[in-house]
Chain A
Amino acid sequence: MKELLKSNLVIMVIFAVIVLTAPAWLTPIGAGYPDILQKFAIFGLFAIGFNILFGLTGYLSFGHAAFLGVGSYTAVWSFKLLTMNVLPAIIFSTLMAGVFALVIGFISLRRSGIYFSILTLAFAQMSYSLAYSVLTPITNGETGLQLTLADPRVVDGMMGIPVTDSLPTTNLFGLAMSGYSGFYFCAVLLIVGFYVSLKIFRSPYGMKLRAIKSNQTRMKYTGFNTRPYLLSAFVISGMFAGLAGALMAATDPLAGAERMQWTASGEVVLMTILGGMGTLIGPLLGVGIIKYFENIFSALNESALHEVFSFLPGWLEEVMVWISHHFVGEGWHLTLGTLFMLVVIFLPGGVMEGITRLSAYLKSKFKGSDEITSEKVSEDAS
């Protein structure tokens, strides 16, 4: 039974069912609409990829938003120049992000630890500044890269797709990329991305990455050249970020420089740590928590809080609303910050550590009571 639960097929089936039924089971908690579901799936991909680098090798990149931005710009250019079909866009974006990751990784990985983090941060900020100013012809600077009616869209033209006087929308062979069909497209890619991550975690390659995190010096004296291992992990995670960036552009065809800002890089770090770095599911839980708080708590206001606490006596209701209204709406970052602090202090392994501890506790409790009953039985027998 235990072996069966650990097989790739079973894990993938369970994962696919959970992801594809998300609209149903997220509706009761108010997150069952396409916009937030797409965000879950897109940031899920971003975090899964980030975790392959950070979770397995321990190399903390503070610049992964750069690849997100590269992915978005490439996708929008594909929409402008070639076709509104998202398939070429996501392929080009992933490859382009891979090329950028190869260059940035090659240089940044000459250092480790905090110096590596600073180098990646510097590269991302450099990319952000370039996109904002010097590279305006490519990125359209402050305004952001947008679709226009004058775009050539060569492939669409050849395919005989009529030019209308409104902006065309992104699609997958005619299937619209907004609403639920957009979510399901992202969800399928999330499932594929999760499968790739699962395979890497369970391969000798993945084990070597974990060994690098554990003791890189020893890896060298064991006969491994650690540099290509790190670089390949860096490129894979960069490609995941590029894919996530492309999907952002696919669901909303717009790319701005702020997508490359360090806060975006920081967000994926928070997500991974909050959920549990180095675990398969942890980063996804982190994404879920942070994106849920961002969308739900920021939308709450005082009148909603009054409703929540309406069962309390009048004066207590006022007090509770006064305390909690600081944590919702504009103040949702306060909730997130508090949560993050609590998790890092009490559960350094993230939410996943909490789950592991809880299940171990429950197991010991059940086993314990089993022993007691068996003792009782033997006592009774004697």
Chain B
Amino acid sequence: MSNILEIKNVSKTFGGLHALGDINLEVEEGTIHAIIGPNGAGKSTLLNCCIGRLEPDTGSVTFNGHNMIGMEPHDINHAGMVRVFQTPEIFSDLTLLENVMLPALSKRDGTFHFNPFVDMRREKEIKAEARHVLEDIGLGNLVDSHAGSISRGDKRRLELAMGLIQHPKLLLLDEPTAGMARHDTNKTIELLQKIKEQGMTKVIIEHDMHVVFSLADTISVLAQGRIIATGTPEDIKNDPKVKEAYLGEEQD
């Protein structure tokens, strides 16, 4: 299997703070790659550098053979790298169905499509697809509710649905279960395991070790802006450096 995402020598400084220092990371196609690390380790900054929200000071991000640095966020999306946000970035004034239809329309019609005289009601296929994805994720009874009015856990699931409907080559999940009750967390793990079988590559940033060890094929540990270890879950569990930096307290 080849690498779908290659991050080489990426560093990012905010003022005097070295958020990321010389990151090297390879994500193999068809796997779930988890990035773990304590708060402030630079996990979200790394994702932001991948999707064009931030431009790294040095280094390169190569996705599917193409350099992503300097590309517009909408072009990165169409290249097949899609991010699910940690704090729900949804369209609060629109219904859940519309929220999920938008990424589907984007996938079908591209970055700009001027069709003011097409009636929405004729978009039956997209509507059915969106409804299907919402039902799969357990929001089938809320399709016509306004996205701003649903619970936080449901918003997280809506975020995930918006990412999944695009069938991206690589899905970047930023703490998909943060703020969820244990019951919802387990449902999300189940869902992610189910879609793992479809062969979608995923990078997951996560605090919850239960989630990480039940999903990930490979784990990278980020601490103080550097990757201190990469390996299988077993390797990581037994790595003394990781224990010291991150797991140590929990194991005592």
- Chain A residues in contact with chain B, CB under 8 A? 8, 196, 199-200, 202-208, 210-211, 213-215, 217-226, 228-229, 232, 236
- The distance from the CB of B144 to the nearest CB of chain A, in whole angstroms, is 14
How far apart sit A226 and B113, CA to CA, in the bound complex (Å)? 11
**A79 to B51 Cα, complex, angstroms:** 55
Give me 20 A-to-B residue pairs in the complex whose CB atoms sit less than 8 angstroms apart, sorted by A's number.
Answer: A8-B119, A202-B120, A204-B123, A205-B115, A205-B118, A206-B116, A206-B120, A210-B94, A211-B91, A215-B89, A215-B90, A215-B91, A217-B89, A221-B53, A221-B89, A223-B77, A223-B78, A223-B110, A224-B106, A228-B112
Q: Smallest distance from the beta carbon of A110 to chain B beta carbons, Å?
A: 15
Question: Chain A at the B interface: mostly helix, strand, loop or mixed?
Answer: helix
Residues of chain A contacted by B85 (CB below 8 angstroms):
218, 221
Whether B121 contacts A202 by the Cβ 8 Å rule is yes
With beta carbons under 8 angstroms apart, the residue of A196, A200, A220, A223 that contacts B166 is A223
By a CB distance below 8 angstroms, the chain A residues around B135 are none
Given contacts A203-B118, A204-B105, A208-B105, contact A221 B90 (CB under 8 A): no
CA distance A202 to B121 in the complex (A): 8
B214 within 8 A of A: no
Which residues does chain A contribute within 8 Å of B225, judged by CB atoms?
Answer: none
- B116-A203 in contact (CB<8A): yes
Q: Is the CB of B115 within 8 A of A204?
A: yes
* Complex contacts, B53 vs chain A, CB 8 Å: 221
Q: State A225–B109 Cα separation when bound (angstroms).
A: 11
CB contacts (< 8 Å) of B166 on chain A: these are 223
Cβ-based interface call for B111 (8 A): yes
Q: Is the CB of A211 within 8 A of B94?
A: yes
**Residues of chain A contacted by B105 (CB below 8 angstroms):** 204, 208
Residues on B with C-beta less than 8 A from A213 are 93
Contact call A223/B103, Cβ cutoff below 8 A? yes
Give complex CA distance A219, B103 in Å. 9
B91: chain A residues at CB < 8 Å are: 210-211, 214-215, 218
Given A202-B119, A203-B115, A222-B106, 15 other A-B residues pairs in contact with their CB atoms under 8 A: A8-B119, A196-B116, A204-B109, A206-B120, A208-B105, A210-B93, A211-B102, A214-B91, A214-B92, A215-B91, A221-B85, A223-B74, A224-B112, A225-B74, A229-B112
CA distance A224 to B73 in the complex (A): 9
- Check B114–A232 contact: CB distance below 8 A: yes
Measured in the bound complex, the distance between the Cα atoms of B122 and A199 in whole Å is 12
Which 8 pairs across A and B sit closest by C-beta, in order of nearness? Answer: A223-B77, A223-B106, A225-B111, A214-B91, A214-B93, A220-B73, A218-B89, A228-B112
